[in-house]
Chains A and B, each alone.
Chain A
Amino acid sequence: MHDILAFFSFSDPTVRIVSLGTVFLAMSASVVGTFAFLRKRALVGDAIAHAILPGIAIAFMLSGTKNPLVLMLGALVSGWLATWAMEYITEKTKLSSDTAVALVLSVFFGIGIMLLTHIQHSGSGNQSGLDQYLFGKAAGMTSQDLWTYSAVAVLLLLVVLGLYKELKVYTFNPDFAAASGLPVKSIRRVLNLVTVLAIAIGIQSVGVVLMAALLITPAAAARAWTSSLKVMLFLAALVGGISGLSGSLISYLSPAMPTGPWIVMTLSIITLLSLFFAPKRGALSRLLKQRRHSQKIVNENLLKVFYKLSIEKEGEQLELSQSELQAERAINKADFSAAIKRLKRKNWLLAEGEKLKLSSIGVVEAKRVVRLHRLWEMYLSQRLNLKEDHIHPNAESMEHIISPELEALLVKELDFPTQDPHNSPIPYTN
Chain B
Amino acid sequence: MTCALLGSFLLLRKMAMLGDAISHAVLPGIVLAFMISGSRDNIIILIGASLAGLLVTLLIELLHKKVHLQEDASIGISFTWLFAIGVILISAYTEQVDLDQDCVLYGEIAYIPFDLLYFSKGELYFPRATLISGSLFLVSLLFLVFAYKGLKITSFNSDYAKSLGISTLAWHLVFMSMVSITTVLSFEIVGAILIVALLVVPPATAYLLTKRLKQMLLLAVLFAFLSALGGYYLAVMLNASIAGAMVTVAGIFFLLALIFTRLQRRLLKVDAFLDK
Interface residues of A (CB under 8 A from B): 37, 40-43, 45-46, 50, 89, 92-96, 98-99, 101-103, 105-118, 121-122, 131-132, 134-137, 139-140, 207, 209-210, 212-213, 215-217, 219-220, 251, 255-262, 264-265, 268, 271-272, 275-276, 283, 286
Contacts and interface: CB of A to CB of B under 8 A. Distances in A.
B267 interface: no
A112 B70 contact: no
A46 B76 contact: yes
Given A114-B235, A209-B83, A216-B76, 14 more contacts: A94-B207, A99-B200, A102-B196, A102-B200, A110-B250, A111-B248, A112-B244, A113-B244, A117-B114, A118-B240, A135-B107, A137-B100, A209-B80, A258-B91
Interface residues of B, number: 71
B77 to A, nearest CB: 5
Contacts of B20: 43, 46, 102, 105-106
Contacts of B69: 220, 275
A129 to B, nearest CB: 8
Contacts of A209: 24, 80, 83, 193
Contacts of A260: 84, 87
Nearest to A92: B262
B112 interface: no
Contacts of A140: 100, 103
Interface string B68-83: 1110110111001101
B201 to A, nearest CB: 6
A106 B204 contact: no
Best-surrounded residue of B69, B84, B88, B243 (most CB of chain A within 10 A): B84
Chain A at the B interface: SS class: helix
B43 interface: no
Interface centre among B102, B250, B251, by most A CB within 10 Å? B102
A276 B67 contact: yes
Which of B16, B201, B254, B258 has most A Cβ within 10 Å? B16
B80 A43 contact: no
Contact of B251 (A42, A45, A107, A259): A107
A106 B103 contact: no
5 contacts: A40-B70, A98-B72, A113-B243, A216-B80, A259-B99
Contacts of B199: 102
A234 to B, nearest CB: 19
Given A42-B76, A43-B76, A139 B100 contact: yes
Contacts of A251: 99
Interface string B1-43: 0000000000100111101100010000000000000000000
Contacts of A96: 11, 14, 16
Nearest to B77: A217
B17 A101 contact: yes
A369 to B, nearest CB: 30
Nearest to B240: A118
A263 to B, nearest CB: 8
A257 B110 contact: no
A115 B247 CA distance: 12
B92 interface: yes
B148 interface: no
Nearest to B237: A118
A268 B241 contact: no
B80 A217 contact: yes
A261 B200 contact: no
Contacts of A92: 262
A98 B208 contact: no
A317 B80 CA distance: 65
A140 B101 CA distance: 10
Contacts of B72: 40-43, 98, 216
A114 B251 CA distance: 13
Nearest to B14: A96
Contacts of A275: 63, 67, 69
Given A40-B70, A50-B193, A107-B197, A256 B95 contact: yes
Interface in B155-174: none
Contact of A110 (B94, B99, B243): B243
Given A106-B197, A107-B248, A117 B16 contact: no
Contacts of A95: 11, 204, 207-208
B76 A212 contact: yes
A207 B11 CA distance: 27
B189 interface: no
Contact of B97 (A111, A117, A255, A283): A255
Nearest to A97: B14
B174 to A, nearest CB: 22
A224 to B, nearest CB: 8
Contacts of B247: 106-107, 109-111, 113-114
B238 interface: yes
A40 to B, nearest CB: 6
Contacts of A117: 111, 114, 239-241, 244
B99 A212 contact: no
**Most chain A CB neighbours (cut-off 10 Å) among B87, B96, B114:** B87
A417 to B, nearest CB: 40
A240 to B, nearest CB: 14
B226 interface: no
B84 A134 contact: no
B85 interface: yes
Given A109-B194, A117-B240, A220-B73, A94 B88 contact: no
B135 interface: no
A215 B75 CA distance: 13
Interface string B188-228: 00010110110111001001100000000000000000000
A139 B251 contact: no
Contacts of A258: 87-88, 91, 99, 102, 106
Interface string B51-73: 00000000000010011111011
